[in-house]
Structure 1
Amino acid sequence: MRRRRPEVLRTPLGIVGITLLVILALLAVLAPLVWGDRATATHTDNMLAGPSPEHWAGTDNLGRDILFRTLVATRLSIVLTLAATIFGVGLGLLLGMAPLLLPRRLGRLVVAFVNVLLGFPSLLMVLFLAVILGVSTTSALLAIGIAIAPPFARLVYALGAGVAERDFVAAARIAGVHPLRIMVRHVLPNIAEPLVVNATVTASSVLLAFGGLSFLGIGVQAPQFDWGRLMQDGLAIIYDNPLAALAPGVAFVLTGLALNLTGEAAAGTFGAKSRIRTTRSLTERRSVSPRSNTRDADTDLVLDVRDLEIAFPGPYGPVSPVRGVSIALRAGEAVGIVGESGSGKSMTALAVAQLVEEPGRVTAERLTFCATDLRSGRRTAHDALLGTSLAVVFQDPMTSLNPVMRLGSQLGEAARRHQGLTRRQASARAADRLRAVHLSDPERRLRQYPHEFSGGMRQRAMIAMGLMGTPRLIVADEPTTALDMTVQRQVLDLLQEIRRKHGTALLLISHDVSVVSSICERVLVMYAGRIVEDLPAADLYTQARHPYTRALIGAVPEMTTDLDAPLATIAGQPVDPRHVPDGCAFAARCPRVTDRCRQEEPTLQAGPAGTVACWHVGDPLPAETKEVAVG
């Protein structure tokens, strides 16, 4: 089969840029070998000669051929440019990644340090450092590298911080992937395109900066010479022989043009096709059995959360989006959490998955998963347990998968780390898991990128990623929101099939009570960070007592809903976690509110079918649920 040309060579810019770079590379290698002696040979009888057939650009004040010197200077000019660029870009990468890897307070110090450096003009910083470090080629290289690092660091941090919040990075954290590996394998490839463009433009600036320092006499020192030093020599005779200064000037222009054109042409494909290979982790990869951490007593209790609270610092005190939540799941049990956006559903799931980062604080009377206390112990042990026994299916499958990695690499990453599988074994396991979630031709799918999948296929792939280990709990956070009804049903049926076949517990988070009631055995209703009702799914429509639960049920259209009437809605707005009122948080929206509701916060108490936090548990239900439940 005919091989396709690299995409960078399919555009005029790429062809011109690559051609110029190849010519410059050949000159850098061959020119000193072919013309080195003629470039340094002095001819005192032919000093300051003008252009001639023997000397196309004339000679300098020692009779040396200016054209040959310009060609020979290509090596030193390019080597110094590349060295300073690599040093500066490498230093910028370290400074830019540090805030994303270090603890929050240390990261802020690094960001502040970079911001201070950005306050100094780059040219002044180069001159200052070059003088302080001493007049030499090495000093100039270090000065330029240090000067270009802060802007590059700022770019890396700004772009990386956005990618670090994506769901596929959270999935990698759940899998226990080392933070440095996450940065190198998941974050940097997704910001490669702007970094490549910036690096090539920076290389052009470095070339000019080095030339400028040499021109001023504080860069390359005799007997070495680069294009900047040749321009300095040519400036003295520019009126007698303009080519003495124009020859190295043209070299500057062509090299800068080559770097910029190549960078622009390559950037469009680099971000989508770059692959950064990392060495295997130095930590020992051990397979962790999910059942090895369980105790004989109550072995079917997968998740036990008691009085969970999450707090973030705010301008007027801590903000608590989750307050006193308790959840218990046993093997094979399906529990749903419903509520409006901002009620604390997803934040609760993040706390279970250990994904609430600083400055967030997670406290609980009990927080155990597979009989392991997640509040204490080594984080590496928790990562190993969560990476094999917990699967998380996020809301948007497109943001849950790394767009620049093939599916096989993403599925196999956690298995290779936690189960000690080889690349071939992990690939076979991944194909088997794709087959288990009913994706056809799994071997071909492993070689594809996420954008080649439909929405339903991507969601199935996310479920398959969770099945790479032996999950005892699947946390599905709005897994069907972005899918059409047909695919939604298929995904829900797949979760049910996995739960029944493997005895896996399921925690389904949704704002749609109809979805939760269709596959869950128990329903938890959350409002303003608290569970306000806990009851069996079979009794949801008939025995729900909390006005908020009734309002959620009433807001779901039915087959008998009058198409000419406005859709039912819940009056008012959800509670702002920063300003939770006294008493019942739902009081301002409740049609049955009393003074007691506004003054005392109700606690969970026994209801007809479960527990409910309401002062009106014993009151009869309204005759028309929807009309009473909504405002």
Structure 2
Amino acid sequence: MTSSVLPKLSPPRTATVPTRRRRRSRWISVPGIAAQVGIAVLVLIAVMGPTLWMEAATARDIASRWAPASAAHLFGTDDIGRDIFARVMVATRTSLLLAAGATAMLMVGGLVIGLSAVMLPRRARRAVIWVMDILLAFPWLLLVLFFTVIWNASAIGAMLAIGLAGIPSVTRLVYNMASSVSDQDYVRAARVVGVGRLVIMFRHILPNIANPLLVQSAAAASTTLLSFAGLSFLGLGVQAPDYDWGRLLNEGLGHLYTNPMAAVGPGVAVVFAGVVFTMIAETLGEQPGQGLRATADASRAAVAVRRRARVPAAAARPERPRGTALAEVRGLRVAFPDGEGGVVERVHGVDLRVEPGEVVGIVGESGSGKSLTAMALAGLLDAPAIVAAEVRRFDDIDLGGALSLAARKRLGVELGVIFQDPLTSLNPALTIGRQLTEVSREHLGMRRAEARARAVEGLRAVGIAEPDSRLGDYPHQFSGGMRQRAMIGMALTGRPRLIIADEPTTALDVTVQRQVLSVLRHAQEATSAGIVFISHDIALVSGFCDRVVVMKDGAIVEELDARRIKQDASHPYTRGLIACLPDMNSDRTRPLPVISDSLRPRDLAERIDTAGAGATPPADREEVAL
């Protein structure tokens, strides 16, 4: 089965495959090592402090009250003779626990509200973000003091106050990042495959925003620690007989001139912990693409629940009448809001059919509506796009209505999409192997080893050397051409009956272009899959496709048999595209024609005829215009 869908293709000839050098972890650097040593010291003191220094921190010696710093008492003593250094060490646990609790509260609260807002309907989403923006308008310290008054002056009250006051800023951060990621092609493709909202959130969105969130967590811990010290210093935090660094700082400040270390000692502890958290944030900020792997892996539980409802891949489908198109759109119109209450229509009443085993090419200039038409056919256009059509279906699935779970699963297996820009179409937070095995495991019911073998075969089929070792790489570790080939291999890992290729050879050299087209052709012949091939290159399309559809300004201007495109082309725009391509018989002393909007169709025909007759062009370059 695998060999029939994924035809083997010899990789490009290379002398040797150089050993790939892994990027050294930022944790093995001066900031990284300093952060690790600092956090180890803080954790050790927090765990062992009460055991080692509790007796000295509570023992009273009135005769030695307010003793200056010495070898016996590094920070001196307080008003009843207790060792201040011992009290600072014991207070480490309380200070860190309160800071960690408030940080966890504001991060979890912001994460839940921000991610929930992304999934809410538009009006509810705007209402939630509106409330968060109002809270952000108030100074953060003012909110902390407000919440502190509500829960009275206590350690728990201060923790709740700082945690709740920090939620709006984290919510805004999470919402902005999640909204930007949710518009990426790989998220849209996951929706078409049939992945649920929660799984998309935990597998595709959260891992991509995890790294900034980890940096924000470390930075928030530093800010929270300083806030606790400030509240306790003001008497609004930890209350007697308990103490933390802020309370010790307040007690020692009155004797700053007689025993400076009584105030400097707790201050040094606060600064040291703040610097450690800052170093952690700096180190995490230099770890791109390494997000929350554990979070992504935790979504496997949700995936397992979805598998219980899996429809078998071999489930019987209703017979399609002979002569019926594999995919079809009639009267397709695609519009977008113009921001002023109206809409701008980009695709105007397009009719397109793809027969089983047919390769249909769509050609036209940028902005002609090629990709919009293909994405509408695949069901990949979401709001704010407004899609309307008399008929829009794939096989017996009506893409214009609500899709059932079984229909979405079929689309995930039988519809393959090769996006134009693989850098935005591949999930940067997941490895290539994880993305290539998704369809096999989700919809074909394969085990991990089987799905991995199929992914290896997919990479090998598109000419990627050492596919076994490259499955563990991230997209940024692939070159542009390799990413494009990986996208093609991903589209072939299912059982595609229709492949939509949106300029799949754009980033490839001519040798690899030929190999990629050979892979697509072999896959089409082996499975009788239909292909919608989008390109700017009319010569490439006419050589690869069976039928060519020419689009201009959101409408189809002509449909031609690819073998007779030069002979049968009648529309001025199609003739202009053909005239712009040189061949072996082109006169190299004459400038090439170009497409321009400055001339009318009648002038275009006259210019093409003139160029074909060998007349001298009236300007420095021939303009073939619509």
**TM-score for both structures, normalised by structure 2:** 0.87
Moved more, 253-262 or 555-564: 555-564
Question: Of 297, 309, 320, which aligns to 2:321?
Answer: 297
Q: CA deviation at 1:224?
A: 1.9
The corresponding residue for 1:630 is 625
RMSD over aligned CA atoms reads 2.7
Question: Of 539, 551, 558, which aligns to 1:526?
Answer: 551
What letter is aligned with 2:332?
A: L
Q: CA deviation at 1:623?
A: 6.6
Matched, 1:244 2:274: no
What letter is aligned with 1:286?
A: R
Contact 1:290–1:472, Cα closer than 8 Å, also in 2: no
Q: Can you list the C-alpha shifts for 1:185-205, whole angstroms capped at 9, x where unaligned?
A: 333333444333332222111
Matched position secondary structure for 1:269: coil
The corresponding residue for 2:619 is none
Matched, 1:278 2:310: no
The corresponding residue for 1:599 is none
Question: Of 492, 502, 506, which aligns to 2:517?
Answer: 492
Matched position secondary structure for 2:286: helix
**2:369, 2:382 → 1: CA distance?**
16
Q: Can you list the C-alpha shifts for 1:174-194, whole angstroms capped at 9, x where unaligned?
A: 333333333333333334443
Q: CA deviation at 1:474?
A: 0.4
The corresponding residue for 1:336 is 361
Matched position secondary structure for 2:596: coil
Distance 1:9 1:296, change over 3 A: closer
Greater relative contact order (CA < 8 Å, ≥ 6 in sequence): 2
Unaligned runs of 5+ in 2: 1-21, 614-621
Q: CA deviation at 1:622?
A: 4.4
What letter is aligned with 2:60?
A: T
Contact 2:328–2:352, Cα closer than 8 Å, also in 1: yes
Alignment of 1:394-473 (within 5 A): 394-473=419-498
Matched position secondary structure for 2:357: coil
What letter is aligned with 2:505?
A: T
Distance 1:5 1:419, change over 3 A: closer
**2:471, 2:523 → 1: CA distance?**
21
Question: Of 324, 328, 349, which aligns to 2:349?
Answer: 324
**2:231, 2:189 → 1: CA distance?**
48
Matched, 1:216 2:212: no
What letter is aligned with 1:310?
A: V
**TM-score for both structures, normalised by structure 1:** 0.87
Contact 1:290–1:385, Cα closer than 8 Å, also in 2: no
Q: CA deviation at 1:167?
A: 3.1
The corresponding residue for 1:482 is 507
Moved more, 143-152 or 103-112: 103-112
**1:559, 1:452 → 2: CA distance?**
40
**2:250, 2:466 → 1: CA distance?**
66
Contact 2:461–2:519, Cα closer than 8 Å, also in 1: no
Matched position secondary structure for 1:268: coil
Matched, 1:365 2:390: yes
What letter is aligned with 2:298?
A: T
Q: CA deviation at 1:506?
A: 0.1
The corresponding residue for 1:380 is 405
The corresponding residue for 2:336 is 312
What letter is aligned with 1:214?
A: S
Moved more, 403-412 or 99-108: 99-108
Contact 1:288–1:385, Cα closer than 8 Å, also in 2: no
Matched, 1:111 2:129: yes
Question: Of 202, 205, 213, which aligns to 2:220?
Answer: 202
**1:116, 1:435 → 2: CA distance?**
54
**2:253, 2:35 → 1: CA distance?**
29
What letter is aligned with 1:552?
A: L
The corresponding residue for 1:180 is 198
Matched position secondary structure for 1:465: helix
Question: Of 592, 604, 610, which aligns to 2:602?
Answer: 592
The corresponding residue for 1:7 is 25
What letter is aligned with 2:297?
A: R
Q: Can you list the C-alpha shifts for 1:489-526, whole angstroms capped at 9, x where unaligned?
A: 22122111111111111001112211111111111111
**1:430, 1:103 → 2: CA distance?**
37
What letter is aligned with 1:133?
A: W
Matched position secondary structure for 1:8: coil
What letter is aligned with 2:449?
A: R
**2:158, 2:82 → 1: CA distance?**
26
Question: Of 70, 74, 80, which aligns to 2:88?
Answer: 70
The corresponding residue for 1:556 is 581
The corresponding residue for 1:50 is 68
Contact 2:102–2:163, Cα closer than 8 Å, also in 1: yes
The corresponding residue for 1:156 is 174
The corresponding residue for 1:82 is 100
**1:169, 1:69 → 2: CA distance?**
53
The corresponding residue for 2:16 is none
Matched position secondary structure for 1:474: strand
Q: CA deviation at 1:247?
A: 0.9
Contact 2:593–2:624, Cα closer than 8 Å, also in 1: no
Q: Can you list the C-alpha shifts for 1:234-263, whole angstroms capped at 9, x where unaligned?
A: 123223322111111000111111111122
**1:591, 1:156 → 2: CA distance?**
52
Contact 1:456–1:491, Cα closer than 8 Å, also in 2: no
Matched position secondary structure for 1:53: coil
What letter is aligned with 2:322?
A: D
**1:355, 1:116 → 2: CA distance?**
35
Matched position secondary structure for 2:348: strand
Q: CA deviation at 1:148?
A: 2.1
Alignment of 1:504-583 (within 5 A): 504-572=529-597
What letter is aligned with 1:411?
A: L
The corresponding residue for 1:24 is 42
Q: CA deviation at 1:106?
A: 2.9
What letter is aligned with 2:600?
A: C
Unaligned runs of 5+ in 1: 573-587, 595-615
**2:48, 2:364 → 1: CA distance?**
71
Alignment of 1:78-157 (within 5 A): 78-157=96-175
Count how many residue pairs are aligned between Structure 1 and Structure 2: 590
What letter is aligned with 1:277?
A: D
What letter is aligned with 1:241?
A: N
Distance 1:381 1:30, change over 3 A: same
**2:593, 2:292 → 1: CA distance?**
50
Q: CA deviation at 1:216?
A: 1.3
Q: Can you list the C-alpha shifts for 1:499-558, whole angstroms capped at 9, x where unaligned?
A: 111111100111221111111111111122111212211222111122121122222233
Contact 1:288–1:384, Cα closer than 8 Å, also in 2: no
**1:485, 1:82 → 2: CA distance?**
56
Matched position secondary structure for 1:357: coil
Distance 1:6 1:624, change over 3 A: closer
Matched, 1:259 2:277: yes
Contact 2:462–2:519, Cα closer than 8 Å, also in 1: yes
Q: CA deviation at 1:487?
A: 1.5
